[in-house]
Structure 1
Amino acid sequence: MIEVKRTTSDNADFKRLTNLFDAYLVEIDGDEKDFFAQYNQIYIKNVIVLYENDYALGCGAFKGYENEVAELKRMFVLPESRGKGIASKIVDSLESWMKEEGFSKCILETSRYLEPAVALYKKLGFTIIPNYGPYKNVSSSICMQKMLTS
C-alpha cells in the first residue's frame, strides 16, 4: 500500500532521496551543478514523501514563487520504482496541497536532458513556457507551467 506523507525538508527520508537526486544531477548538469545547487539547498515547508511498506520511494516539494504561483521542486523517484505511477501520485498530491494553500498556478524547471521527466510533466498537463527567474539564460533548462483548477 502506498502512503503519502506530508512533511518538511527536515525529513530524513526526503534528505536521503534528494541526496541521491543531487548525485544523479551531477552527471546530468556537469559544469552547471554549482549553479543549480544554490536553488536546491533550501528549507522547504511543503514536502511529500511516498512510502511503500515504510520504505521511501520518491519525493517532491513546492514553495511559493510569487502571489498565487507555486514552484514544484525536488521531484525524484528511486530508479527501481520508476514506471509505476509514483511520480504522477507525487505531483497530484502536491497540486492538491498547492490548491489548499491558495495557489492557482504551478511552475517548474527541469533539465532538457531529463526527457522522461519532461514527457511526464507534459502528460500531466504542463506546458513549456519561457525560462523564468534564475533560469532565463540557462540553455539546459526547460521551464513549464500548469494552471491549477478546482
Structure 2
Amino acid sequence: MDISLKEVDFRNPDLLHLITKLDQYLYEIYPADEVFGVDFSDPRIAEIIFVIAYDSDVPVGCGAIRRVDHDVVELKRFFVEVDYRKRGIAGKILRYLEERAINLNYGVIRLETGAPQSESIYFYKKHGYTEIERYGEYVACESSLCYEKQLSSSEDL
C-alpha cells in the first residue's frame, strides 16, 4: 500500500465522492440538524484546504482545515474509507493538516465529533486533542463533543 496525499480544489470529484460517503454515514447516526458539513456554495469555500489520501490512484480518505480566526483552524470533513481504516492513513492526513496549519502560523486546531463516533474520539485523544466546551455552530447541539490541540513546531508533532 503506497499512500500519497494531495491537496485538491473543493470541486475535485474524488473529494466530493468521499464527502458524500462521509455524509451518508453521519446521516445514519445523527439527526439531520446535527450534521455539520461544509457549505460548498459559500464564497469562502476556496479558502478551505482540502487533502485526499490516495492508495495508488484510488481515493481512500480526506480531510480539511478552515480558518476560524487569526489563531485557530478547524478540522473538517475528516474521513477514511472503512476498508482502509487502522492502517495509519488517518494519522497521515491529520499530521499533514496540522503541519499545514503550523506553516500558516495557526496556534490551535479544533474539531467537533459526537459520542456515537467512539473510534474518532479515541483517535483524536491519542493524537493529543483534549475536550473543550462546545464552540461556534455547535454550542446548542447536545450531541456535539469538541476538542482542540495546541500547535507548536513541527518537531512536536
Distance 2:141 2:104 in 1: 30
SS at match of 1:125: coil
The residue aligned with 1:16 is: 17
Matched residues in 1 for 2:88 and 2:106: separation?
Answer: 24
Which amino acid in 2 is paired with 1:65? V
Q: Deviations over 1:83-116 (max 9, x none)?
A: 1111111100000111111111100001221000
* Corresponding residue number in structure 2 for 1:105: 108
1:87 corresponds in structure 2 to: 90
Give the equivalent residue in structure 2 for 1:40: 38
Per mean C-alpha deviation after superposition, the further-off stretch among 83-92 and 1-10 is 1-10
Superimposed CA distance per residue, residues 16-39 of structure 1 (whole angstroms, 9 cap, x where no aligned partner) = 000000011111112xx14535x4
Which 4+ runs in 1 deviate beyond 6 A?
none
Instruction: Provide TM-score, normalisation by structure 1.
Output: 0.93
Identity score, percent: 34
- Match of residue 5 from structure 2: 4
Tell me the amino acid that sits aligned with residue 95 of structure 1.
E
Of 132, 141, 150, 1:147 maps to 150
Residue 115 of structure 1 is matched in structure 2 by 118
The answer (yes or no) to whether the contact 2:131–2:145 under 8 Å persists in 1 is yes
In 2, the alpha carbon distance for the partners of 1:8 and 1:77 equals: 18
- Give RMSD over aligned pairs: 1.2
Query: For the Cα contact (< 8 Å) 2:18–2:79, is it kept in 1?
Result: yes
Gaps in structure 1 of 5+ consecutive residues: none
Q: Which amino acid aligns with 2:78?
A: M
Q: How many residues in Structure 1 have an aligned counterpart in Structure 2?
A: 147
Gapped runs of 5+ residues in structure 2? none
